[in-house]
Amino acid sequence: MFLFVTPVLSRSMLIMGLFLSRFYAIIVYMSKILITGGAGFIGSNLVDVLISAGYQVVIIDNLVTGKKEYLNPQAKFYQADICSSEIAAIFTAERFDYVYHLAAQIEVAKSVADPVYDNAVNILGALNILANCQKNKVKKIIFSSTGGAIYGEAEEIPTPETAPAYPVSPYGIHKLTFEKYLNYYYQIFGQDYAILRFANVYGPRQYRGGEAGVISIFIANAILNKTSFLYGDGQQTRDYVYVADVVKALVLVKDIEARGEINISTAREINLWQIIASIEKTLGQPIIIEQKTAKLGEQRRSCLSYERARTVLNWLPEVDLALGIKNTLAWAKDNKNNL
């Protein structure tokens, strides 16, 4: 004769069982995230952080400025243009929870020379991504916008998000235009979004032939023993924010209710001579500088307030210029052949 005993579960055991089942469900399913431009400077750094956190990551990049060697092997990669009809099929197949839209035509000078092309990528290509987000019920799209190029020659320094936006380049105009489309899609279709307006981002993986800024150009030239050109008197200022701080803000904004524009910056003006001095101090030797006539229409000052980021995201810049240049210089030395 066999005696079967049915265990009696206490209320606490039932609660613990429900908790564990939910906990393991979270482990089994992590959000699937698309990063357009995920083979680029900022995008590839973001991919690495999200994958380390356990997310499923998919990359769309046409590799025009992105680099294959920046692709994280744990991410699924589609070599595709954001303007193409392929995008719809990718969205349908993958069913993304979140989308980071970082892919763009990023050169201000190129936008001036060819505003039609800049419009095609930075508005029409971006709209292609946005329309597919709405159609496929993406929870949130996060857009990497620009600070200095949108505000133009601002009267208030550091410049808050409430300052008038008067872009002086097609690049800035098109970034601002897409910001308005994001708000439109939210108001009409309920598509959630967030906008981060970056100051001048720098750091590892920013190379001369791609998403290059003055710090990466001067560092690369210094390592290769080439001349760097300084246009104008060198007193023009920018707000330089380190890429790891930018990535931290991108990760935070995904899970926080934060529509509208948020500056990601240091609120500190740095001129070109200060950049040169910092590179020379870190390198331990002078770099070759040749002064040239100032570029026509170049913005004189750009520096952004990050007070909204502090309030909404609980975000602060952590890496100062000296450490950021030290880290960037170390990366550039290790990647000398790819600069």
> Do residues 168 and 234 touch, judged by C-beta distance below 8 A?
no
The confidence score (pLDDT) of residue 7 equals 44
Task: Determine how β-strand 193-198 pairs with β-strand 261-264.
Answer: parallel
Among 201, 207, 202, CA closest to 338: 207
pLDDT computed for residue 4 by the predictor: 37
Would the pLDDT of 28 be above 60? no
* Average pLDDT value for residue range 303-321: 97
Q: Which residues pair with 237 in a beta bridge?
A: 271
pLDDT at site 2? 38
Contact by Cβ (8 Å): 128, 82: yes
Assess whether pLDDT exceeds 90 at residue 22: no
**pTM for the model:** 0.89
69 or 13: which carries more pLDDT confidence? 69
What domains are defined for the chain? 31-338 (3.40.50.720)
Partner residues linked to 229 by β-bridges: 290
Token reading at 303: 């520096």
Mean pLDDT check: name the lowest of 43-47, 218-222, 334-338.
Answer: 334-338
Catalytic residue among 55, 78, 171, 207: 171
pLDDT at 217 over 90: yes
What mean pLDDT is predicted for residues 252-275?
A: 95
pLDDT in tens, 74-128: 999 999 999 999 999 999 999 999 999 999 998 888 888 899 999 999 999 999 9
The answer to whether 171 is a known catalytic residue is yes
pLDDT 10s digits, 225-252: 999 999 999 999 999 999 999 999 999 9
153 contacts: CB under 8 Å, gap ≥ 6: 166, 168, 299, 300, 301
pLDDT at 112: 87
pLDDT on residue 298: 76
d(CA 166, CA 58): 35
**By the 8 A CB rule, do 273 and 235 touch?**
yes
Residue 329: enclosing H or E segment and its boundaries?
Answer: helix 321-334
- The more confidently predicted of residues 298 and 64 is 64
What is the model's pLDDT at position 12? 55
Helix (H) or strand (E) segment spanning residue 172: helix 170-189
Q: Which H or E element spans position 56?
A: strand 56-61
Task: Note the residue count of the chain.
Answer: 339
As a whole number of angstroms, the distance between CA 308 and CA 57 comes to: 28
Give the pLDDT confidence of 113-170 residue by residue, as tens digits.
899 999 999 999 999 999 999 999 999 999 999 988 899 888 999 999 999 999 988 9
* Residues 100, 34 contacting (CB under 8 angstroms): yes
| Peptide bond before residue 158 is cis, with ω within 30 degrees of 0 | yes
Q: What is the mean pLDDT of residues 19-29?
A: 49
